A and B are shown apart, each in its own frame.
Chain A
Amino acid sequence: MAKVIKLRKGLDVNLKGKPSEETISVKCPGEYALIPDDFCGVKPKVVVKEGNAVKVGDALYVDKLHPEVKFVSPVSGTVSLVERGDRRKLLSVRVKADGKQEARSFDTKGDIKALLLESGLFAFFRSRPYDVVANPEDKPKAIFVTAFNSMPLSQNFEYALKGEEAEFQAGITALSKLAPVHLGVSKKQTNKALTDAKDCTVTIYDGPAPAGNVGVQINHISPINKGEVVWTLSGEEVIFIGRLLKTGKVDLTRTIALAGSEVKKPCYAKVLVGQQLTTLLEGNLNEGENLRIISGNVMTGVKTSKDGFLGAHATEVNVIPEGDNADEMLGWIMPRFGTFSTSRSYFSWLMGKKEFKFDARIKGGERHMIMSGEYDKVFPMDIYAGYLIKAIITGDIDRQEALGIYEVAPEDFAIAEFVDSSKLELQRIVREGLDILRKENA
């Protein structure tokens, strides 16, 4: 029987617009984009030119420092745009699909790492410390896979897994050839493919968000010390590997959740990584309001637009009102019954299991850290979150190391950022801290 770890700290926010378990089919849109910003820590070097024909699995760009790490096209077609921004920063490489999905064939017999690198699936591996794309030269002490999302309005992986249990297991087995694999499963999940998965150590987590964060799981099983490296992967990316081994072809299809209060019929959809959201959202959004479309979930996702693209790691698209046209009077003293807060100075605790509708307002001004212990209540790791944040703000690298910065990723601070009464941008602070630290240690 797998070990059960009970987590007490954290917070589940009950949001309106949870996806119902049915999958809609989406018309294939014309354009796909692979966005380098989704792959943290990479210096992209484009290897195609506009007008080139590409197959599924052909590299669009590679990492300048590790050219063996390839970022491949999810569709077959022609490269339509290499989009650059300020100082020629690569923003995206777009491919116009031809609808045929011709895929490059890979030899699945050889070395698994070489196969993953060549097929572009290695780009989905992330490494801690720093939460960046893994370095193939590293020797990780373990690979951590989380098989559940705990954030509000996120994808139910068990639903996405249906019918692909064999591929999932094949992926896990392949990973176990690289390093010992730890699989994190939620207490609520019953699928035998997860709870009885082979070639890995299964651990069951019971607790509120962010229990599904791989960082939280690592902290409880095998915390990262200075000098150690672990690789992390999400459940769906393990399926990518399984599909590749089975067919010899890259298939980056995800079953994403389309959720949020502004989605008419929240549901699941089978889409490709990098797919344009236009056809997915068409006719399924509430009219009138100024909307925020998020590639990813409300806590960790990135704001995009109706004609934006699905991020590489996103397992859901959430849509909420932007809220920038709201004028709520005297919020500091009004009862605000319909407004959610963890603080009892609001009355959302009276509302029982009510589902709340959130907009994207910060609902307050940024202050210095005033209240104490706010972060720790929702930060289920053996780390003093507030002190670590202060060490990052002050740029004290020795203290960051001492307080455990190697164990965290920005997403681990998402719930803390949500409850923070001082409205500090914790995820951004952590991301910038990790980037600076990585540069210093390079």
Chain B
Amino acid sequence: MNPIKKLFDNIRPHVEEGGKFHAFRSLVDGFETFAFVPNTTSRVGSVNIHDAIDSKRIMSFVVIALIPALLFGMYNVGYQNAVAAGGDTSDICALFLYGLLAVLPKLAVSYIVGLGIEFVVAQWKNEEIQEGFLVSGIIIPMIVPVNTPLWALALAVAFSVVFAKEIFGGTGMNIFNVALITRAFLFFSYPSKMTGDDSVWVAQEQICGLGYNVPDTFTAATPLGDAAVGTAMADPMAAIYGLIPGSIGETSVIAIALGAILLLWTGVASWKIMVSVFAGGALMGYLLQGVAGNPLEWWHQLVVGGFAFGAVFMATDPVTSARTECGKWVYGFLIGVVAVLVRVLNPGYPEGMMLAILLMNLFAPLIDYCVVQRNINKRAKRAK
């Protein structure tokens, strides 16, 4: 017998009801189901065989799809730090290592706080651990500026896991995207840490002797920050490679595209939503060219800021997006439209993707309602 299997079999009696360590049942359960495919078989009265797909596999593939953007983001953190300090940008390894050290604590805080709450809730409700936070947990550090304080991040993660997810009933029942609620919480509670010219976008200090200390006078702005004050983009191609200041994982369109290919190929994310978000953004970008001092061309809107990242990884969240096939087109299109609308016409918010997705999360059930109601009306008419 497999020794790991044996280990779990030995632990099991202690965490069962009445065991000494019953409080850790959900934890052990969680690890065991990750180590081994559960071998419970189907009950009488339900289908006898099952497809091998389960939510662990799906969530794992989303995490894999996020990895290119995360790794590039780490490198970019190091690169931006070196550029700001006027240092050497040729040693890719050193830049990456610096970025890794800067990002890792955020990743750790996000997972420890979020999964910690998940484990406690699962134990309390006597349910299995749900995998949803595996994805949220990696997205959260990727959509915040590198200088976000860890305490604020911890607070925001706790808030969103409890109030955006668990009180609705856990993964699959939430109305809003958990990662975006985390960002919204930070954005509205600690605006000075999240946006503006307070050089939040570039790491300022040496870590373990790596990187550079950036002079206090330094300020950096993202292309969207520039655009909000009417400055045109210096180099739109840089936004496609991703060597610009911005939230950790959102800058490189190429790295995001790699993830998008995996998600579309495996069918985990809806291509309808992805395509329609870009279509909506492009259309609105085109209509608003030059309006209200907007210096960006239509396609710039699609490559700067969190647009691509949001379209690929967050608008497509199956739980909070529209669930009907027609509804997905409308839902995605309106996200693109609203995101660019907020960017261009609202001077207070240089970036609109977060608000656009959250707004459409709210409207997704309404869109679905209209689509489903058509089917219901057809049936009602037939009965007459």
- Taking Cβ atoms with an 8 Å cutoff, the residues of A that contact B are 13, 15, 223, 225-227, 292, 294, 298-303, 318, 320, 322-333, 336, 339-346, 358-373, 376, 382-384, 386-387, 402-404, 414, 417-423, 425-428, 431
In the complex, the answer to whether B39 meets A300 with C-beta atoms within 8 Å is no
Q: Which of B128, B266, B380 contacts A365 (CB 8 A)?
A: B128
Residues in A neighbouring B266, C-beta threshold 8 A: 343-345
Residue of B nearest to A348 (CB): B52
Q: Which of B36, B53, B61, B171 contacts A329 (CB 8 A)?
A: B36
Judging by beta carbons under 8 Å apart, are B372 and A322 in contact?
Answer: no
* Interface stretch (choices B40-48, B89-97, B145-153, B351-359): B40-48
Which single residue of chain A is at the shortest CB-CB distance from B36? A327
Minimum CB distance partner of B317 in chain A: A370
Q: For the complex, what is the distance from the CA of A327 to the CA of B32, rounded to whole Å?
A: 11
Please give me the residue from chain A that is nearest to B41 by CB atom: A360
Chain B residues closer than 8 Å to A368, beta-carbon distance = 130, 169-173
* Minimum CB–CB distance for B278 against chain A, Å: 20
Q: Which residues of B contact A427 (CB under 8 A)?
A: 45-47
Contacts beyond the supplied A328-B39, A331-B52, A372-B270: 20 A-B pairs with Cβ under 8 Å: A223-B382, A226-B383, A301-B48, A328-B36, A328-B37, A330-B35, A341-B51, A343-B52, A343-B53, A343-B266, A358-B49, A363-B50, A365-B38, A367-B128, A370-B171, A370-B319, A418-B51, A425-B43, A427-B45, A428-B45
Residues of B within 8 Å of A225, CB to CB, are 379, 382-383
Residues of A with C-beta under 8 A to B267: 343-345
* Residues of chain B within 8 A of A339, CB atoms compared: 52
28 pairs, A vs B, C-beta closer than 8 Å: A225-B379, A226-B383, A298-B49, A302-B45, A320-B49, A323-B39, A323-B41, A327-B1, A329-B36, A332-B56, A332-B57, A339-B52, A358-B49, A363-B37, A363-B50, A364-B54, A365-B33, A366-B128, A369-B172, A370-B58, A376-B325, A382-B378, A383-B375, A402-B376, A421-B53, A421-B58, A423-B54, A426-B46
How many angstroms between the C-alpha atoms of A362 and B173 in the bound complex? 22
| Complex CA distance for A397 and B5, rounded to whole angstroms | 45
Q: Is the CB of B47 within 8 A of A418?
A: yes
CA separation between A366 and B188, bound complex, in Å?
36
Closest to A414 in B: B47
Residues of B participating in the A interface, judged by any CB pair closer than 8 Å: 1-2, 4-5, 33-58, 60-61, 128, 130, 132, 169-173, 265-268, 270, 318-319, 321-325, 372, 375-376, 378-380, 382-383
Q: B375, A382: Cβ atoms under 8 Å?
A: yes
Query: Which residues of the other chain, A, contact B383 by a CB distance below 8 angstroms?
Result: 225-227
Q: Looking at chain A's contact residues, is the secondary structure mostly helix, strand, loop, or mixed?
A: loop
Q: Do B48 and A303 touch across chains, with their CB atoms under 8 A apart?
A: yes
User: How far is A345 from B53 in the complex, measured between Cα atoms in Å?
Assistant: 8
Q: Is the interface of B mostly helix, strand, loop or mixed?
A: loop
Q: Is the CB of B55 within 8 A of A421?
A: yes
A359 lies within 8 A of B41 (CB): yes
Contact B38 A361 (CB under 8 A): yes
Q: Which residues of B contact A364 (CB under 8 A)?
A: 37-38, 50, 53-57
Q: Point out which of B53, B376, B379 has the most chain A C-beta atoms below 10 A from its C-beta.
A: B53
- A225 to B42 alpha-carbon distance, docked (Å): 33
Least distance between A189 CB and chain B CB atoms (Å): 26
Do B171 and A425 touch (CB < 8 A)? Answer: no
Q: Inside 8 A of A344's CB, which chain B residues have their CB? A: 265-267
Do B171 and A367 have beta carbons less than 8 Å apart?
yes
Q: Once the chains bind, are A332 and B60 in contact (CB under 8 Å)? A: yes
Name A15's closest neighbour in chain B (CB-CB).
B49
A417-B172 contact given A345-B61, A364-B54, A373-B323, CB 8 Å threshold:
no
Q: A340 to B52, Cβ gap below 8 A? A: yes
Q: Please, how many angstroms separate the alpha-carbon atoms of A323 and B319 in the complex?
A: 31
With A and B bound together, what is the CA distance between A329 and B34 in angstroms? 8
Q: How far is the CB of A332 from chain B (nearest CB, A)?
A: 4
CA of A387 to CA of B50 in the docked complex: distance in angstroms? 22
Roughly how many angstroms separate A418 CA and B54 CA in the complex, as a whole number? Answer: 11
* Beta-carbon nearest neighbor of B380 in chain A: A402
Do residues B321 and A372 form an inter-chain contact, with CB atoms below 8 A? yes
Chain B residues contacting A327 (CB-CB under 8 Å) are: 1-2, 5, 36-37, 39
Say how far B199's CB is from chain A's closest CB, in angstroms.
39
Report the minimal beta-carbon distance from A416 to chain B, rounded to whole angstroms. Answer: 9
